[in-house]
Amino acid sequence: MYYDMYSNRHTLLDAMIRSLKELTTHSQMLESICQKIEELKNELINQEFLNSDTKEFSKNCDEFYRKINEKFSIINQAKILIHFNMQNDIHKIEQECLESLETKIKTICSSVDKLLTKFSQENILTRVEYDHFNLYYGNLISIRQEIKVHIEKIEEVIFDKIQMWECSIKKESTVQDVTMNLKNMKRVSNNIPSFKIKINERIDEMLKCYKTTHGAMTFARLGTIFNQGRDGIGQSIISEHKSFQGYSLSLFNLRTQRHNIHYVLDQLKGNLVDKKQLLKRYDEFHDIYKKTVKENLSPNMKLDKLILDIKLIAGNTRQNANRIVWNEDLTYKVPRLATNIFALWTLQKADHYFEAEGLEDQNNYLFQPHAAQ
C-alpha cells in the first residue's frame, strides 16, 4: 500500500517536472514576439497597395486594408513591451511602417491629382484614364474606412467642375452649349461609378429646369441634338433621364410607324390567313380607337364613362382558358372591348402629349398600340 502511494506520487512529480521543462521561457517568449513584429514590419513595408485584391470595388479591397490596419495596430500596441529589454526598437519599426504607408497613400493621391488637374482644365479623360481614376479613388475610399485618409478634396474638384457646367446651363446660352455641358456631366457620371447617382440627380434637376424655362419645342430640339450624336452620350441621357421619357416615346413611335398594318400582314404566313378580312377588322378597330381617343383627350379628362363602357361590354363573359368558344356574341364583343381598352391605356398615359403642346409631332407623344398587337 505504502509502495503504491509512493509510486503514484513519484509519477505525478515526474509529470509536473516534464511540464515545467516544456514551458516557454521568458527569453524565448520575447524572442518569438520580436520575430513576429519583424515579420509584420516586412509585410507592411513590402506590400503593394495596388494589387489583384484592390483593383475592383469589392469586399476584397475593404478586407485588404482592414488587414493592413490590423497589422499596424499590433505593432502600435506592442509598445507596451518596451520595458522588457526587447531586441527590436518598436518605436523605430512603427515609424518605418508609418512612413511606408504614407508614401504608398501619397503615390495614389498624386496619381489622382494628376487626373483631377487634367479633368479640371477641360481636357476629356480617356476610358483608360477613367479606369485608373476609379481604381485610385476606390482604394482611397477603402483606405479612409480603415486608415482614416481624407478624400474630400477629390469630391470637391469633381463637383466644382459639375457646378461650373450647371452654371453655364442656367445662363441664357445656346442649345449647342447646353448639350455640350450636359454631355460633359453625363460623361463623368458614366465613367465614375462612385459619383453616378449624385451626378445623375443633378442632371435631372438641370433638365427639369431647362424644360420648364424654355418649353417643349426647344427641349425637343435638345433631344434631337442628343439623338444625332455619335458618341452615345446623348442617347444615354435620353434613355436614362425622366424628362426625356416623352421624347423617347416619340422616337419609338416614329421608328415603328414603318411597321404598319401592311408590313405586319406581309409577315403572316399560312393558307388559312384571310389578310383582307384582317385588314378590314384592323381598319374598323383603328377608326374607332382614334375617334374614342380624340373624344376624350383633354387636360382634365374624365374617363369614368369609358371605363363603364368597358365593363358593360365585358359583361359576365367567362371562358375556359383551355377551350375558348368563339360564338357570335364573343366575336362581336372582342374587337369593341380591345378598342376601348387600348384607348383607355392611351388616355391614362397622355401626360407626355400635353407636355409636347405646340409640336408638329405631338401625337407621337402618345402611347399607341402597334399594328401587330
pLDDT tens, position by position, 159-205: 999 999 999 998 877 899 999 999 999 999 999 988 999 999 999 99
Instruction: For residues 51 and 138, state if they share a domain.
Output: yes
pLDDT in the model for residue 122: 73
**Residue 3 within any structural domain of the chain:** no
pLDDT in the model for residue 324: 63
Single out the residue in 256, 289, 304 at which a domain terminates. Answer: 256
Single out the residue in 100, 120, 147 at which a domain terminates. Answer: 147
**Residue 34 within any structural domain of the chain:** yes
pLDDT band at 209 (very low <50, low <70, confident <90, very high): very high
Question: Does residue 25 register a pLDDT over 90?
Answer: no
Instruction: For residues 140 and 233, state if they share a domain.
Output: no
**Residue 218 within any structural domain of the chain:** yes
pLDDT in the model for residue 3: 45
Q: What do you get for the CA distance between the two ends of the chain, in Å?
A: 105
Distance CA 200, CA 240 (A): 9
Instruction: For residues 29 and 87, state if they share a domain.
Output: yes
The total domain count for the chain is: 3
Question: Does residue 208 register a pLDDT over 90?
Answer: yes
What percentage of the chain carries pLDDT values higher than 70? Answer: 85
Instruction: For residues 243 and 168, state if they share a domain.
Output: yes
Instruction: For residues 190 and 169, state if they share a domain.
Output: yes
Single out the residue in 213, 228, 256 at which a domain terminates. Answer: 256
Instruction: For residues 93 and 48, state if they share a domain.
Output: yes
Q: What is the mean pLDDT of residues 68-82?
A: 83
Residues 235-290 pLDDT 10s? 999 999 999 999 888 888 888 888 888 887 888 887 677 888 888 888 888 888 88
Higher pLDDT, 77 or 82: 77
Instruction: For residues 159 and 143, state if they share a domain.
Output: no
Instruction: For residues 161 and 138, state if they share a domain.
Output: no
**Residue 6 within any structural domain of the chain:** no
pLDDT in the model for residue 171: 86
CA-based R_g, the chain, Å: 37
Distance CA 23, CA 158 (A): 61
- Provide the domain limits for residue 301: 272-317+324-365
Instruction: For residues 89 and 191, state if they share a domain.
Output: no
The model's pTM is 0.73
Residues 119-175 pLDDT 10s? 888 778 889 999 989 988 888 888 876 665 666 778 888 999 999 999 999 887 789
Distance CA 245, CA 212 (A): 15
Instruction: For residues 117 and 174, state if they share a domain.
Output: no
**CB neighbour list of residue 370: distance below 8 Å, 6 or more residues apart:** 256, 259
